[in-house]
Amino acid sequence: MKTTILRLSIAMATLIYFTAIAHAEDDTIFQTSTIDALMEGVYDGNFTYGELKKHGDFGLGTLNDLDGEMVGLNGVFYQVRSDGKVFVVPDDARTPFAAVTFFEPDRSLTLAKPLTCNELESYIETLFPSKNIFYAVKIEGSFDHIKTRSVPRQKKPFPPLTEVVKHQSYFELDKANGTMAGFWFPAYMKDINAAGFHLHFITDDRQAGGHVLDCTVSSVKIEIDYSRDLDLSLPETSGFYNADLTEPSGSDVSSVEKGKK
Ligand code: ZN
Q: For residue 154, how far is its CA from the centre of ligand 1 (angstroms)?
A: 16
Q: For residue 182, how far is its CA from the centre of ligand 1 (angstroms)?
A: 9
Q: For residue 52, how far is its CA from the centre of ligand 1 (angstroms)?
A: 17
Is residue 251 over pLDDT 70?
A: no
Q: For residue 129, how far is its CA from the centre of ligand 1 (angstroms)?
A: 25
Is residue 23 over pLDDT 80?
A: no
Average pLDDT over residues 81-98: 98
Q: Are 32 and 235 in contact (CB under 8 A)?
A: yes
Task: Report the alpha-carbon distance of residue 142 to residue 119 in Å, rounded.
Answer: 16
pLDDT at residue 253, rounded to an integer: 82
Q: For residue 106, how far is its CA from the centre of ligand 1 (angstroms)?
A: 24
Task: Report the alpha-carbon distance of residue 144 to residue 5 in Å, rounded.
Answer: 57
Task: Report pLDDT digits (tens) over 139-170.
Answer: 999 999 999 999 999 999 999 999 999 999 99
What percent of the chain clears pLDDT 90, i.e. is strictly above it? 84
Residue 110 CA, chain-centre distance (Å), reads 21
DSSP, collapsed to helix, strand or coil, labels residue 2 as helix
Q: For residue 213, how far is its CA from the centre of ligand 1 (angstroms)?
A: 9
Task: Report pLDDT digits (tens) over 27-72.
Answer: 899 999 999 999 999 999 999 999 999 999 999 999 999 999 999 9
